A and B are shown apart, each in its own frame.
Chain A
């Protein structure tokens, strides 16, 4: 049974000495949410080995070379045309701007519409409040009418789910593989709740810290962060019995 938001909440409140959820103050509930969101974000940024890899389908339009995707933390690749033909990653905006010149021996800037061969992922800041992340996928060449209808299957890591105190009442399931619920997610969240102003259990702090460190170590061993380690030589999975 995967972890529910309510189960995580009562577990974290117990670390603040609250055995009955109904008596928790708003401040405590807020600290619980911060701890849950913090642990979610840590797990979400740990890489695809934690079931964060997700497939997104975009519908291609005639001559459109850029597609914005929302709510995505990172594009992992591969990016595939019609869910079958892999496209090649480009390394810079310059390669998109001079695609025909560099890769196809042409003289024009950009690329003439045809069957997409390559993509480049652009990460931009947008706006000045809230989620400022914008992810754009550039295609080269842009899709010609003869190629349509066509889709783009993009493998991504979604942005971490962000909860508010109001969500605690919904008893929702946390979007975490149950393999990592108690072993990684909860130790991290428990450690984060110790940073609450309501935490007054120095007797369990050492144990929670040790559990947290062990969970973070597990996070490093089980998976790898793709944005850091792209060399293809991931550290071996040293899972111990």
Chain B
């Protein structure tokens, strides 16, 4: 049982100029949604770690061979090739080009793939091997990885983070980037999101997997943005129940104060105070599930 987007918006909009979310214009409803998003993000920042972390399993796929790809010498775009979004960042080795290349962007509609490096082989139709040495997910963010990914069901063989080869072009990078076997190391590669590129970041692995491997990654996640469509569909807001009334609603009303549809009742100081108390209440929760409530004789480490 949680609260739905429309329930949350209705609570917050009690402080709007009409006091009724259904009597606000669409722009004003966006004010309410923006306030809820601001509060949700602050709340997730303040929540104990166990509410915002999860371990998720991903697949590092086995090498895949694809035929009939159109390539132009010195071009960075391949044609006639449809790949899945989660193949962005993976290594692609094209016949006719000795160098390893990387998939930087995929356009399934135009059936094209953008490469990191120009294709050095002759113009024509070629084939390629794609190595599953990168992880990207449209469902899960990789912008905060906790600890090292591990092979599923084989926790004793962790993948080690290697800062040495975190980006392309490093002196040592070729050691891992052009070998195939069981992955031993991982690093992150950013794609220049601020320049309008997606994705923000992928996880890279080396050596490139010689077969399919299941990998567990511990992720920190942020709340999904609420939208007007969520308001329309009454989508649930995924916040633990005990944080809705003490934290989320006061914080959302506090956020709402900055928007023009907020109606001042000359109690802004109190609203601000309640918002801060709500945030503090979330921050004051015990850091981990299973922590003893008494602080005396609490074992070291809690």
Interfacial residues, chain A to chain B (CB-CB below 8 A) = 77-78, 86, 88-91, 95, 103-105, 117-118, 231-232
Contacts and interface: CB of A to CB of B under 8 A. Distances in A.
B229 A90 contact: no
A90 B25 contact: yes
Contact of B227 (A105, A118, A232): A105
A232 B228 contact: no
Contacts of A104: 227-229
Contacts of A90: 25-27
A154 to B, nearest CB: 15
Interface string B20-33: 10111111011000
A118 B26 contact: yes
A95 B27 contact: yes
B200 to A, nearest CB: 17
A103 B20 contact: no
7 contacts: A78-B22, A88-B25, A89-B26, A90-B25, A90-B26, A104-B228, A231-B18
B17 A103 contact: no
Contacts of B19: 232
A118 to B, nearest CB: 5
Contacts of B232: 117
Given A117-B232, A232-B19, A232-B263, 6 more contacts: A78-B22, A86-B22, A88-B25, A103-B30, A231-B18, A232-B23
Contact of B26 (A103, A105, A231): A103
A95 B232 CA distance: 18
Contacts of B23: 77-78, 232
A232 B18 contact: yes
Interface in B204-232: 227-229, 232
B229 A91 contact: no
Contacts of B26: 88-91, 95, 103, 117-118
A103 B29 CA distance: 10
Contacts of B30: 103
A103 B25 CA distance: 12
A77 B29 CA distance: 16
A190 B92 CA distance: 90
Question: Most chain-A Cβ atoms within 10 A of its Cβ — which of B18, B19, B23, B229?
Answer: B23
A118 B263 CA distance: 23
B25 A91 contact: yes
Question: Most chain-A Cβ atoms within 10 A of its Cβ — which of B18, B24, B228, B229?
Answer: B228
B148 to A, nearest CB: 35
Contacts of B229: 104
7 tightest Cβ-Cβ pairs between the two chains A and B: A232-B18, A88-B26, A89-B25, A118-B26, A91-B25, A86-B22, A103-B228
A232 B20 contact: yes
A47 B142 CA distance: 56
Nearest to A117: B232
A104 B25 CA distance: 15
A90 to B, nearest CB: 5
A49 to B, nearest CB: 16
A170 B30 CA distance: 53
B291 to A, nearest CB: 41
B224 to A, nearest CB: 13
Nearest to B228: A103
B27 A91 contact: yes
Contacts of A118: 26
A204 to B, nearest CB: 45
A66 B56 CA distance: 48
A100 to B, nearest CB: 11
Interface in B1-39: 17-20, 22-27, 29-30
Contacts of A231: 17-18
Contacts of B18: 231-232
B208 to A, nearest CB: 36
B29 A88 contact: yes
A201 B229 CA distance: 65
Contacts of B263: 232
Contacts of A95: 26-27
Nearest to B227: A105
Contacts of B24: 88
A106 B19 CA distance: 30
Contacts of B27: 90-91, 95
Nearest to B229: A104
Contacts of A89: 25-26
A231 B24 CA distance: 10
Contacts of B29: 88
A108 to B, nearest CB: 15
A104 B232 CA distance: 12
Question: Most chain-B Cβ atoms within 10 A of its Cβ — which of A77, A78, A88, A89?
Answer: A88
A232 B24 CA distance: 10
